[in-house]
Structure 1
Amino acid sequence: MTKLRDSEAGFTLIELLVALAIFALISVAGVMLLRSSSDTQIAVKKRLEEMALSHRVANSLEGDLAQVIARPVRDQSGQPIPAFTQGEASVPGALFGFVRAGWSNFDTTPRAGLQRVAYVLEGGMLKRLSWPMLDGTSPIDAAVLLEDVTSATVEFRDDTGVWRDDWTATDADALPRAIALNVNSAGKTEQRMLFLVGPQTRVPPPSIETDVAE
């Protein structure tokens, strides 16, 4: 019987087991690397989507609030509504409402270039409402800007530079200088957004000086 040389003997069982173990480790490392890359891509995509939503809300608010004008309106029953309101009895969940200029009329519809707008929190969604006419109508459009909103609060900066939690101006034409919208969403940190209101051409009220008798 011819004896096989060492170079022709093949692999032992131990050598095969070691080779399989090394191959398994390489395979596991490859799978973990691919999973990590996939998870990173998903996280980045989710973050970009969140940023896009935030920008959408900010752009909508900035575009509306920059064109606010002092124009009081009337509701469906004919009751007067100030130019800028915090909440409205006829609009459930209303945060604030106003009238803005610059409403483009591309289809030449017989209407004014002014639009009544309100931002509301309803059913966990931040929405933008609009009215077809300024007076005596109900809102028809409701664009959802954010979902899974747990709470939203508004602060108002008046002409004296003071931030207030309420807007109860006695003058129906009064407008805040700026607003701060604080939004809390499920599983996220609070988002605070600041916006100027109107063209900022209003002159603050003069300070009242008291004459001291000598």
Structure 2
Amino acid sequence: MSDPVPARLVVLISGSGSNLQALLDAAADPAYGATVVAVGADRDGIAGLDRAAAAGVPTFVDSVKAYPSRDDWDAALAEHVAQYEPDLVISAGFLKLVGERFLAGFGDRYVNTHNALLPAFPGIHGPRDALAYGVKLAGATLFFVDAGVDTGPIIAQVAVPVFSDDTEDTLTERIKDAERRQLVECVGRLVREGWTIKDRKVTIP
């Protein structure tokens, strides 16, 4: 009996690619069940693209300013991702909101990770907002992307304690560690075991 074909991952990035690297490292083990087949970015000259190149993974760049409109960019991004026939698309620090065309093609298999316990503290300043509010637990959320901002069906969450002497930087770094572990673990489970989404509830068998 032959080994199962690994699931195909396309990873979208905007920066250093530390989450991408964690996925590349995990996928090096055949038992993980997935392989990164392409890395897309919204800008050139970022370290994440260098990580992909070092791993021999094809890359592409779709900059919003390279297209006449945001819709044109969204359509181009969707087309480029589709060329790699992904089973899952992963936003790993991708700082652009996709549009209707992209979600029509990948909405039920496009996952994102956010550095707060949603639905609390959506947006780009999760740890800062959590500290300002005075919560005792922060954390990270993995979810399927929908048309809202950090509003999609939740796959998994991990809590991180907030210490009395935390700064935005120290809390952010502690969340990043937990976030990365959760991303790698849950992506592996999704591709190996499958999932269903019903009434906003994500179930992994």
Q: Tell me if TM exceeds 0.5.
A: no
If asked which structure has higher relative contact order (CA below 8 Å, sep 6+), I would say: 2
Higher relative helix content: 2
TM-score by length of 1: 0.22
TM-score by length of 2: 0.23
